[in-house]
Amino acid sequence: MKNKHQHTWKLHRYITTQVCTRITQAWQSFRNWGSISLFLIGVSLTIVMSACSGANVDSTNNKISTSERDINLTFVSYSVTKAAYEQIIPKFVQKWQQEHNQKLKFTESYDGSGSQTLNVIDGLEADVVHLSLALDIDKLVQTGFIQPGWEKEAPNNAIVTQSVGALATREGNPKNIKTWADLTRPGVRVLTANPKTSGGARWNFLGLWGYITKTGQGEKQALDFTDKVYRNVPMLPKTARNATELFFKQGQGDALLNYENEMILSKQRGEKFSYIVPDVNILIENPIAVVDKNVEQHGTRKVAEAFVEYLYTPEVQREFSKIGFRPVNTRIAKEMSSTFPQVKTLFKAEDLGGWKKIQQQFFSEGAIFDQIQAQKPLK
């Protein structure tokens, strides 16, 4: 659907063209009038023609100049980033207004990463997306919303936040859960979100799988281990944040699988629990991208790219780290190194074959996750 600013600009241009055409025709008609009349008419027409030529039209992109109007930027992200952006976005709005004398308003949306990807495809007109995994942004490339090569459009291959997997337990850890392996024990109820809708849940799944394959065992053993864990999962909430709320607010589960940053944020909010960062772990990398198709339609590319660039600044990377994300800025990472425990064996999605292979092997219809779910005993 065309943007209302496009309609405004087209109407403006149509009226201007019609007025200027009529003026030119009138000028031709008046050429034989007396000199005084011509003088008076000429003065009047000069004023009007100046208004025509000075109309605020940008012929390069068919938009009213952005310096003359307020801007709305639609930002879409996955659920657990909301706490960070509550601090970050107001600072950027203030910065933009000071530097450009222009009011900027954000429309924000937070939900599971997989769900947000589908929302954008279905019509949520995001200008910038910060999603849980590169696979989701690749889907936006495949559907024409983002141009290929988005990874090179921002620092650090467009990874703007990162974390690792963690296990939360009840205060005092009454079931003595210390490693991934303890999640397979009978009677241990495990909470994790649904990998079909939550990027965080996919990272959890890969953390379990890699715990086996990255310690010298094969895929058969990994399948058996992961199957045993999911037999202890009584429900699959939609998002990582939903899983967190079920664990803390409703008292469900003995162990929660989630991002380390969710654990840190929950501690800051006063929740009473224990958590472990396993020694064998996956580096959770969260990418950001400008949605090319939408920024072109909205005329918001300049501010969208400025916002993405802003997220890599030391100031913002510190803000992310305050709520538990591990900084991607190397200088800030060194500053914050004592905040985060070291991980002995850290692997990435690329070490499991990359997201295309991961999707086909684990999360496509009928793939390993579906097979595991089909084999779970009915409750």
pTM of the model: 0.79
Which pLDDT belongs to residue 376?
76
Whole-number pLDDT of residue 64: 36
Q: State mean pLDDT over 235-249.
A: 93
Of 132 and 61, more confident = 132
Rounded to 5 degrees, what angle do the CA atoms 283, 354, 295 make? 85
Distance of alpha carbon 270 from alpha carbon 248, whole angstroms: 10
> 244-298 pLDDT, tens per residue?
999 999 999 999 999 999 999 999 999 999 999 999 999 999 999 999 999 999 9
Mean pLDDT for the stretch of residues 25-52: 41
Q: What is the pLDDT of residue 68?
A: 54
Residue 33 has pLDDT above 70, yes or no: no
Q: From CA 44, how far away is CA 303, in angstroms rounded?
A: 40
Whether residue 73 is predicted with pLDDT greater than 70 in this model: the reply is yes
Contacts of 240 (CB under 8 A, 6+ apart): 78, 79, 80, 112, 193, 198, 199, 200, 201, 258, 259, 262
Does residue 229 carry a pLDDT above 80? yes
pLDDT band for 85, please (50, 70, 90 cuts): very high
CA distance 131 to 161: 10
